[in-house]
Amino acid sequence: MKTFKVTLAYDGTGYYGWQEQPGLPTIEGLLKKRLIKLFKMDVPFTGASRTDVGVHALGQVARCQLALDISAERFKVIVNRILPPEIMIRSVEEVQEEFHPRVGVQEKTYYYHFFVQQPVPFLSSYGLVVKHLDLTLLEECLQVFKGKHDFRSFCTGDQGRTTERTINSLELHFYKRYGVYQIRIKGPSFLRHMIRRIVGACFEVSSSRKSKEEALACLSQTLEGKDPCHTLFVAPAKGLLLHSIRYHERGI
């Protein structure tokens, strides 16, 4: 039995997220079906992050176990041949059987893309247009969420035992050539819809007529309130991208 660490990229448009769901097109579901058809056997395939409906990935990581004598490079080549153009295996590495993509994660990096003016059509599906945005205030708003907090107000659904998480950094970058802004968020783990709710809330208060003090106070009070039923904006999935996952050495 060989165990592979597989790094994938995909366009999440048209898919109901990563996780397999009966009767719905998902990234995991498609991969499993194609692998069974290719290798004529069940091929266990487990992803690191359950990206939501419409979310994209450049560096999703998965574990694949295969009872065949095949090299990592050969696996990558033949599997890419059977995948649709919106899904691609970027790299494959043979690892120890104990490797699990959800264990030993040191840091995940997500990007959220947005525009302040209408972009060219082929970019509009991958970012949100946010007008009247105070970019300086946006950067300050993002810093409200840096560090360890209880993010119950900024997640969706039952999150299990704790909603405490740590965000290592939140940075804003601009790529003039494409007119796109990129929010980079890094941390060991995130709750369901957490990033989209944080980003959306920051967009709302940074494009309102609130003063800097009012905007920061609004976000801080919402965070401290630990109540997810607030009405602050939730950024749409199309702008979110799982960029990469970094592991502690023992995780690989």
Rounded Cα distance, 48 and 144, in Å: 27
Segment (H or E) for 46? strand 45-47
Please check the confidence at residue 158 and state whether its pLDDT lies above 70.
Answer: no
Same domain, residue pair 37 and 53: yes
> Residue 207's domain is classified under what CATH number?
3.30.70.660
Backbone angles phi, psi at 26, to 5 degrees: -130, 160
Same domain, residue pair 228 and 154: yes
- Among candidate residues 102, 133, 161, the one where a domain is terminated: 102
Same domain, residue pair 120 and 218: yes
Which is it for the CA torsion 135, 200, 9, 246, positive or negative?
A: positive
The band of 122, judged by pLDDT with boundaries at 50, 70 and 90, is confident
Same domain, residue pair 16 and 50: yes
Q: Is residue 83 part of a domain?
A: yes
Rounded Cα distance, 74 and 2, in Å: 13
Query: Are 4 and 39 contacting, i.e. CB atoms less than 8 angstroms apart?
Result: no
Same domain, residue pair 137 and 199: yes
Q: Is residue 129 part of a domain?
A: yes
Nearest to 168 by CA among 108, 222, 220, 214: 108
> Residue 26's domain is classified under what CATH number?
3.30.70.580
Same domain, residue pair 93 and 171: no
pLDDT tens digits for 203-243? 999 999 889 999 999 999 999 999 999 999 999 999 999 99
- Among candidate residues 69, 102, 135, the one where a domain is terminated: 102
Same domain, residue pair 143 and 116: yes
pLDDT tens digits for 50-73? 999 999 999 999 999 998 999 999
Q: Is residue 202 part of a domain?
A: yes
Please calculate the CA angle 55-57-63 and round it to the nearest 5 degrees. Answer: 115
Q: What is the mean pLDDT of the chain?
A: 94
Same domain, residue pair 143 and 206: yes
Same domain, residue pair 113 and 83: no
Rounded Cα distance, 57 and 16, in Å: 13
Give SS3 for 147: strand
Same domain, residue pair 72 and 140: no
Mean pLDDT of 118-141: 93
- Among candidate residues 102, 137, 166, the one where a domain is terminated: 102
Q: What is the number of domains present in the chain?
A: 2
Concatenated DSSP letters of 177-237 = TTTEEEEEEEES---TTHHHHHHHHHHHHHSSS--HHHHHHHHHHHHHHT-TT-------G
Identify the pLDDT of residue 157: 78
Q: Is residue 252 part of a domain?
A: no
Q: Is residue 251 part of a domain?
A: no
Same domain, residue pair 226 and 115: yes
What is the pairing mode between strands 147-150 and 45-47?
Answer: unpaired
User: What domain range includes position 134?
Assistant: 105-246
Rounded Cα distance, 166 and 160, in Å: 16
Please check the confidence at residue 251 and state whether its pLDDT lies above 60.
Answer: no
Rounded Cα distance, 109 and 147, in Å: 15
Same domain, residue pair 181 and 93: no
Report, as residue numbers or ranges, the catalytic residues. 52
